[in-house]
Amino acid sequence: MGLIVQKYGGTSVGDIERIKNVARRVAEYHARGDRVVVVVSAMSGVTDKLIKMAKEIMPLPNEREMDMLLATGEQTTIALTAMALQAIGVKAVSLTGAQAGIVTDGVHTKAKIMNISPKKVHALLNEGHVVIVAGFQGETPEGQITTLGRGGSDLTAIALAAALKADLCQIYTDVDGVYTADPRIVPNARKMDEIAYDEMLELAGAGAKVMQLRSVEFAKKFGVIFEVRSSMNNNPGTIVKEETKSMEGVVIRGVALDKNQAKITVLGVPDQPGTAARIFKALADVAINVDMIVQNTSAGAQATDISFTVDKADLLKAQKVIEGLKSEMGLKGVQADEKIAKLSIVGVGMRSHSGVAAKMFDTLAREGVNIQMISTSEIKISVVINLDRAEAAARAIHAAFIG
């Protein structure tokens, strides 16, 4: 018996029958005496449908209004989930992010959780309720509704687990756990039993879709051990936790392919101190996350080109920002390329094994895949390659390193 936070993603609550399944699972934990907090996402497809409606009105809708709009998705699910529990005799009550005490900053559509006041959740748990909390959303201290960005429901769950000092945090999803690669792309991919926070972080950053980067960062920071598992069966999932000595035996834990990146090349950037800073500060000011950056300046050149990658969703906005700097900075032009992908390999074992990069580049060369950009960390190597060859490249890399 303990306090459990369970998070169910959009597929797990995708229709009424699935919501009833979630309720039955929650009821089992409740029946054995656990105090259960359930965090749910919007039913699958709902958020996309809302975004589509907004974009029919204007291509770049106001972000405060987007949050007002998108927050309805999770609010719908919490009410239905609470009803589904009540229907099978379990005391349950739903709370919006705001009602659950989730306070965020004011960066609409990508808000950060500032703090959580778990008083109300604790009070309701003490009364014997299962508490259903809307994931993905919060409220500023001024009472504005905010959303945390895609994957924000995981963050809600992990932050709540930390704030409530939960004994267990389970992230239920539509896959059995964290895989060595996306099984839809790499048929040989297999489920891991455990993975270190840092590996999970690099995989998430590299585009593995299981979890958002900052949910894992948050878990690492607050030491929240969590399990990624399926809501469709009772198989054990993947435990995400602090790195252990035994993990180093595995050189490459996983392969990730991110097809959701786009590349922007800024042409003719004057070769002066501070120019790169101005470009990336302008992007940061509008909360665009830049991933990889490459700049190569020839000796004696007056100007240079800078390439970087952003989420495809931010491409239009990023282009606008750079266009806005064009005359002021004397830039020559902006090129955008959506036809790219980022392929990464991750493993804490990389620290104690050499030649990993060479083997990766060699494997790609033998596949005839051209490398456009390279970026490395202590436990990760990423390359940007052509989108058309990306899946074949992922399979070759998985075969070379994992099997």
Q: What are the residues binding its own copies (CB under 8 A)? A: 16, 19-20, 50, 53-54, 56-58, 61-62, 64-66, 68-69, 71-73, 75-76, 78-80, 82-84, 86-87, 93-94, 96, 99, 143, 145
Nearest residue (CB) to its own copies, 65 versus 243 = 65
Beta-carbon contacts of 83 under 8 Å, excluding residues fewer than 6 positions away, are none
The minimum distance between CB 224 and its own copies, in angstroms, equals 27
Judging by DSSP bridges, how do beta strands 371-377 and 333-337 pair with one another? unpaired
Cross-strand pairs, 308: 264, 293
Q: Rounded to an integer, what distance in angstroms lies between the CA atom of residue 378 and that of residue 150?
A: 27
Collect all residues with Cβ–Cβ distance below 8 Å to 384 and sequence separation of at least 6: 261, 263, 292, 309, 340, 341, 342, 371, 372, 373, 374
Give least dist CB 137 to its own copies, A: 12
Whole-number minimum distance, CB 92 to its own copies, in Å?
Answer: 8
Strand-strand pairing, 194-196 and 137-139: unpaired
What do you get for the CA distance between the two ends of the chain, in Å? 40
Minimum distance from residue 320 beta carbon to its own copies (Å): 16
Length of the chain: 403
CB of 34 to its own copies, least distance (A): 22
SS3 string, 20-50, reads HHHHHHHHHHHHCCCEEEEEECCCCCHHHHH
Nearer to its own copies, 94 or 363 (CB): 94
| Of residues 92 and 346, the one with the C-beta less far from its own copies | 92
Residue with tokens 């945090």: 169
Token readout for 3 is: 């306090």
Element (H, E) at 365: helix 356-366
- Here the tokens at position 31 are 């029946």
The amino acid at residue 198 is D
73 vs 254 by CB, closer to its own copies: 73
**Nearest approach, Cβ of residue 87 and its own copies (Å):** 4
Q: How far is the CB of 143 from its own copies (least distance, A)?
A: 6
Least separation, in Å, of the C-beta of 113 and its own copies?
19
CB closer to its own copies, 146 vs 363? 146
CA 309/CA 338 separation, integer angstroms: 10
CA–CA separation, 388 and 47 (whole Å): 28
| Nearer residue to its own copies within complex by CB, 72 or 260 | 72
Burial (0-12, 13-18, 19+ Cβ within 10 Å), 255: buried
Residue with Cβ nearer its own copies (56 or 378): 56
Of 101 and 151, which CB lies nearer to its own copies in the complex structure?
Answer: 101
